Amino acid sequence: MNRLPLGLIILLVVSILVYFGVAQRLLDRMRLSDKGALVIIGALIAGSFIDIPISRGNIQVAVNVGGALVPVGLAVYLLVKAGTSKEWMRALGATIITGLVIYLAGSVLMKGDPGERYNLIDPLYVYPLVGGIVAYLAGRSRRSAFIAATLGVLSLDVVHWLWLVNNKIPGNVYIGGAGAFDSIVIAGLIAVLLAEVIGETRERLQGGPSSVNRDPDVLQNLQAPESVRHEDDASTTKEAGGRGK
Amino acid sequence: MKNKSRLGVLCGCILLMLAGGILYYYENNPRVYNTVAEAGIELNFLDALGKWEGELNDRKYYRFVDETGNMIDQTNHEVFIGDEVILENNNRYKVIRVDSEQYTAVCQLVGQENMAWQEDWGQIPVLSVAENKDKVAVYMTHTDESYVPSDGTESKPGNGGILQVGKKLADTLENRGINTDISWNKHDPHDANAYHRSRKTAVQLLKKNPSALIDVHRDGVPDPNFYKTKVNGKPGTKVRLVVGRQNPHMSANLEFAKKIKSYFDEQSPGLIKGIFMAKGNYNQDLSPRSILIEVGTHTNSRKEAETGVAFFAAGISSLMGAADGAKAPAVSAPAGKTGARSSLLWLLVALVIGGGAFLFITTGSWKGSIEKLSGLGKEFSGNLGPLKGRKKK
């Protein structure tokens, strides 16, 4: 066993606890229960250690369970559960735009050399910023932000695969290969945080969620779940903002 | 009423975007920035995480001069008033005036960075090792980077000269008794998204629990003499250490970089070109012992780079207490603590401020925030939340 200084061990443990703690709270903001969010966190961690090969030969492609299958599965689940077909279209549109913008930002604008002109923010943080903002503008939805950011970043791996094939360069593509710490997962989480902060701030500014010209189903979903209402009637309006979209 | 508030929010958003655009233009354009800075106003809203530079074209480069006019450094990046450089001799300078016609940056001495090698670090390995399990992991994010005099071009996608330099680093470490994992994963094309691809490589390597993680690069400064040096009488290149500023482990990684530099300053002065605290993350959030190295520049020969990196590897193995096959006892390095402590502090401060702000926004008041916090335990007490609610509907 390597022995790191105690300070570094504490730093590592706290970093990991903070990361997964914040992740659990963010997953909880989508259509997931507390337990559901915990199960997803567990699947992210356990899945990080499982790579499923899908193509061998000169260009080897593998999909990581924690870094790709779990977040994509969650994105698909959220899409299926989406209230309206409009939300479907918005989420998918936001995904395509996110994929395009992050490809252009990371591949054309930024070259990744330390000290270059456009390297204002690391690409790792550009992905969720783009995904979150695009999805929010398209559908003002946290779930949509998660879907756009995860699937958008995943498309970068697919582009890399195509690039290797096109240029006949032997190599590996590990889709979601960094597991729970993959850019795919981080992008999804930060995008939800961003949508949450923008959304809550906006709703607070306008004094509650908008109810004019909206689908009755959506309005019904904007209400707090019954279990919460029973427990605490007074907090209904507060919860409506948080649990709704 | 609702329309009015919507209009207000819309106007607010447009104003914000406009202000952001102006700020971006101002902070992005050295002439505008420096003219305003001369009037005594320096704004760095977009850049709270560190100074940044843009590369210059047409082989132009800035000369850094001290107040008496002596040249102290050079760069092919844009220079901004307020930029800081830490030189090889650990002197830290701040840019106080920029002449964009003459490409000259006048600097004022801030002081000397305290990174002297301490005698007792020699007795205990800086990277603690035990039971022959010490490991270093090596990878190359920009696998196309090449050296023009040897490789004929500066970029060979999938097969750059940098792979040989990485191999030399790994082989030398291995020969000196350090188990070294090197990854040959390709991350082309050469762009910023390459870090998204190499992140997977870094995590794969970290699963084997290495003591240090090294990402090998070469620089893009046109002047070959900028990195040229003599290593044991043979022509070689210097090595620049790069620490990404945009991650929670920045302090710990900077501490690590300073220690490497102080070791070489003691053992073989001049090999380390300095420490560049760059914008970006460079996947250094994954480990508090990760470093990016620039081995020479594209106008140096690959042979020179290999000589430089071999010397660097020999030093790293000594830092790990594994030089000449001798295993030092596993003792924690005393100086690793300050960086870790500072990183930890930043992480916790960010958590408290971020979490507090988030609670305030979602509940709308401090009272609500405190209520929500005290109700945290209740949320885990077994209700199925929204799922249950929907089913009943």
Question: How does pLDDT run across B138-147, given as a tens digit for each residue?
Answer: 999 999 999 9
Query: What stretch of H or E contains B241?
Result: strand B239-244
**Which residues in chain A are contacts of B54 at CB distance < 8 A?**
116-118
Among the partner residues B12, B252, B330, nearest to A11 by beta-carbon distance:
B252
Q: Is A34 on the interface with B (CB under 8 A)?
A: yes
- Name the helix (H) or strand (E) containing A126: helix A123-139
Report the pLDDT value the prediction gives residue B45, as an integer from 0 to 100: 52
Cβ distance B362 to A108 less than 8 Å, yes or no, reads no
The predicted-structure confidence for A1-23, as pLDDT tens digits, reads as follows 344 567 677 777 777 887 888 88
A178 touching B (Cβ < 8 Å): yes
Nearest to B83 by CA among B68, B65, B96: B96
Chain A positions touching B340 (Cβ under 8 A) are: 5, 7-8, 10-11
Domain boundaries, chain B: 22-112, 119-334, 345-377
pLDDT on residue B180: 92
Is residue B228 within 8 A of residue B304, CB to CB? The reply is yes
Q: CA quadruple B156, B158, B162, B168: dihedral positive or negative?
A: negative
CB contact under 8 A, B279 and A119: yes
The alpha-carbon gap from A89 to the nearest alpha carbon of chain B, in Å, equals: 23
A204 in helix, strand or coil?
A: helix
Q: Do B385 and A33 touch (CB under 8 A)?
A: yes
Q: Does B279 touch chain A (CB under 8 A)?
A: yes
The tens digit of pLDDT for each residue in B357-383 reads: 777 766 667 777 777 777 665 555 544
Looking at chain B, the whole-number percentage of residues with pLDDT higher than 90 is 22
Top-tier CATH class for B119-334: alpha beta
Facing residues of A173 across strands?
A61
Q: Does B204 sit within 8 Å of A177, measured CB to CB? A: yes
A and B: number of Cβ contacts within 8 A: 277
* pLDDT tens, position by position, B21-37: 777 677 666 677 777 77
Helix axes A34-47, A6-27, angle to 10 degrees: 130
Distance, CA of A113 to CA of B218 (rounded, Å): 9
The alpha carbon dihedral of A230, A236, A242, B3 has a sign of positive
pLDDT computed for residue A132 by the predictor: 79
**Measuring CA to CA, which residue among A161, A199, A195 is closest to residue A177?**
A161
- Among the partner-chain residues B189, B337, B361, the one whose CB lies closest to the CB of A201 is B361
* Lookup result for tokens 């220690």: B259
- Which residue did the predictor score with more confidence, B43 or B329? B43
Per-residue model confidence (pLDDT) at position B181 = 93
Least confidently predicted of A78-82, B152-156, B231-235: A78-82
Do A124 and B195 count as a contact with CB atoms less than 8 A apart? yes
Among A residues 109-128, those touching chain B with beta carbons less than 8 Å apart: 109-125, 127
Whole-number pLDDT of residue B382? 47
Select from B141, B292, B284, B279 the least CA-distant residue to A118: B279
- Which of A13, A116, A196 best tests the B interface by mutation, with the highest count of B CBs <10 A? A116
Is the CB of residue A187 less than 8 Å from the CB of residue A135? no
User: What are the pLDDT digits (tens) for B165-174?
Assistant: 999 999 999 9
CA B236, CA B241: separation in Å to the nearest integer? Answer: 16
Q: Which residue has the tokens 């320096």?
A: B42
Q: Is the pLDDT of residue A223 over 80?
A: no
Please tell me whether residue B65 adopts helix, strand or coil conformation. strand
Which CA distances in Å does A87 have to A82, A189, B130? 6, 19, 56
Residue A165: its H or E element: helix A142-167
The single-letter code of the amino acid at B238 is: K
Report yes or no: B206 and B137 within 8 Å, Cβ to Cβ: yes
Number of DSSP helices (H) and strands (E) in chain A, helices first = 10, 3
Set of chain A residues whose Cβ sits within 8 Å of the Cβ of B2: 206, 210, 212
Identity (one letter) of the amino acid at B73? D
Q: Identify residue B29 by its one-letter amino acid code.
A: N
Q: Quick: pLDDT tens for B47-97.
A: 443 333 344 544 566 778 888 888 887 765 566 676 666 778 788 777 788
Judged by a CB distance cut-off of 8 A, whether residue A213 touches chain B is no
